[in-house]
A and B are shown apart, each in its own frame.
Chain A
Amino acid sequence: MSESLLRVNDLRTYFHDAGAIARAVDGVSFDVARGETVAVVGESGSGKSVTALSILRLIRNPGRIEAGSSILFEGREMLGLSEKEMRDIRGNRIAMIFQEPMSALNPVLTVGEQIAEVVRVHTDASRHEAWERAVEMLALTGMSDPRERATAYPHEMSGGMRQRVMIAMALVLRPALLIADEPTTALDVTIQAQILELLQKLQEQLGMAVLLITHDLGVVAEVADRVVVMYGGEVVERATVTELFDSPQHPYTEGLMNAMPRLDQKTARLTTIPGIVPPSTSWPGGCRFRDRCAYAWERCEMEHPPLYAVGENHESRCHLAIEPDRRQSPHEPLAARAGAHQ
């Protein structure tokens, strides 16, 4: 990782409301090199989406990126930039696509207008030039009849089409980094594959880095170079994609993998992690995963685990790293027991 494009360091994004503080992102660090794909994985409530929004500083009141956080992009500290300077970066150097391509597109503007707007806002291209670039970009996303399609409204398109529009809108200015927040979750399985393929193709063609936010390890295995697993507003495991799938270290990562449907296994036994992510207003002390963990012991209650180095470029926020013997004695997690009573 000699040259990193994006370096997030100790990012903390809190939501303040009526005395309560929701620590949605609580000390997250990772980096993204030029041209690579980093996946941020976690359930909903893990803080992954807030992390993505924080990078573009799209956090709205009552949310706040706390002092001491740092986001370096192309060597510049973004948290010190003015709103005007941030706007120059958004959609231009860093672009973002969202999960729900229906609601993420403006229903009363044509898709061409929405793509061209990016060009108009960031360059001094004329209306006509911007439109031409929008059409070109739509063609690049594999849309047939792009000139015709550009004049359509979002409701006249299918979900897959709309996501292509979102991608065209994000990439029209060739950003250095694309943040994709669950880009395929809302789509049919066959369309999912097409969209992922398209993203990979365009990434190669345009040489951008991708920060992929997802809960789907299947998607991660397919496209990511490195993986950041998040839980409870923290990074709980960080590794290259092969490392992670070969030897997951954190019990949460293991849980996610067991919850993954596998084609190679004959018995399609899907296990889910019992319980839910606790509310971000009250993270438990010690390890935040312990109530749902099959290995949790006293230490997990007493001591908040740091990110232990568990291999080359592989870290895990679990005390098992220093007490590996505990792996021999799994038990029923607290959350499962509580759940059984209900």
Chain B
Amino acid sequence: MAAESIGTSTHWTRHVVRHAGFAGGVLALIVVVALLAPLISPYDPIAQPDIIGLKNAAPSFVHPFGTDSFSRDVLSRCIYGARVSLSVAGLATVIAVTLGTLYGAIAGYAGGVIDAVMMRFVDAALAIPRVLLLIAILALWNGLPLWLLVVVLGVTGWFGLSRMVRAQVLSLRELDFVAAARAVGASSPRILIRHILPNVVPTIIVAATLGIGHVIILEAGLSYLGLGVQPPSASWGSIIQDGADQVGSAWWISLFPGLLIVTTAIACNALGDALHAAFDPRHTTGAMAELDS
């Protein structure tokens, strides 16, 4: 009906732009703080000035986030923790997105038996709760160095995206412009890279944005279990772990890094949703739920 189709889109666009702008701003702020950590941080994050006198000090003007059981300043630890949390999540997401895109594109483009086999594997991988798989891996390889942790997080995080990319490639493959490219004799890798992948970019960007928020939470969980980031490096999750056993008495140690995680994750989700809406006019929040696995 004419009535329904009039406008509302302009309304919607404005709404999306405002949300994306705000979420992007919050993320940018956190990234800047992480980059400038040495300049901003009030104390040395690993200094233990007075392990007896300044142990578990409640938040105050001197220590806005309080101190932990080693008398370290929680605010400074959170600022440096942002570096670890963000870079682990960012790099792991890059790995996951690259693998997922390639795998999904190859499966979708190849089709037939290859596709079926490749996708059965993804089905199986998706059936394992990712955290359990990670726990198994990290338990078997005790105390992985940071870069390997990043690799493991990346390698276990591409299954959902590969499904979406495959589905898109599958439908793109049948379109006229791909047929045309094939007709003029373009090679398969060339068609894939030049003609098909650019059309998948929106999906990838949305997946990456949502993925970063997800990996930050995931890494925090693993670090909370003592399986993730190993000391002396500390992510936000490690700091929560520092305070977990004394949450009843020194709640500030776990509270503040957790709030930072929530803020970052909300910003990533909001930005991802907004981008999704911007790329896809028939927007629903639920459609991206699959990416969480």
Contacts and interface: CB of A to CB of B under 8 A. Distances in A.
Interface of A: 15, 17-18, 20, 22, 24, 44-45, 49-50, 59-60, 62-63, 280-281
A18 B10 contact: yes
Interface stretch (B1-9, B83-91, B162-170, B172-180): B1-9
Contacts of B11: 17-18
Given A17-B8, A17-B11, A18-B11, A59 B3 contact: yes
Q: How extensive is the interface on chain B, given as a class? A: under 10
Cβ-closest 7 pairs across A and B: A17-B7, A18-B10, A22-B6, A15-B6, A63-B3, A18-B7, A17-B6
B46 to A, nearest CB: 55
A22 B8 contact: no
A62 B2 contact: no
Given A17-B10, A18-B7, A63-B3, 6 more contacts: A15-B3, A15-B6, A18-B11, A62-B6, A62-B8, A280-B2
22 contacts: A15-B3, A15-B6, A17-B6, A17-B7, A17-B8, A17-B10, A18-B7, A18-B10, A20-B7, A22-B2, A24-B2, A24-B3, A49-B1, A50-B1, A50-B2, A50-B3, A60-B3, A62-B6, A62-B7, A62-B8, A63-B3, A281-B6
Nearest to A46: B2
A22 B3 CA distance: 8
B93 to A, nearest CB: 37
A322 B1 CA distance: 36
Nearest to B1: A49
Contacts of B8: 17, 62
Among A17, A59, A63, the most chain B Cβ lie within 10 Å of the Cβ of: A17
B7 to A, nearest CB: 3
Contacts of B10: 17-18
Contacts of A49: 1
Interface string B1-38: 11100111011000000000000000000000000000
A63 B1 CA distance: 12
A62 B8 CA distance: 9
A59 B6 CA distance: 14
Contacts of A44: 2
Contacts of A280: 2
B2 A45 contact: yes
A248 to B, nearest CB: 26
B139 to A, nearest CB: 47
A60 B6 CA distance: 12
Contacts of A62: 6-8
Nearest to A47: B2
Contacts of B6: 15, 17, 20, 22, 62, 281
Nearest to A59: B3
A62 B10 CA distance: 13
Nearest to A45: B2
Nearest to B8: A17
Nearest to B7: A17
A125 to B, nearest CB: 34
B270 to A, nearest CB: 23
A331 to B, nearest CB: 30
A106 B3 CA distance: 22
Contacts of B1: 49-50
A101 B122 CA distance: 41
Nearest to B14: A18
Contacts of A60: 3
A70 B211 CA distance: 56
- Interface core residue of B6, B7, B10 (most chain A CB under 10 Å): B6
A281 B6 CA distance: 9
A179 to B, nearest CB: 15
A125 B41 CA distance: 74
Contacts of A22: 2-3, 6
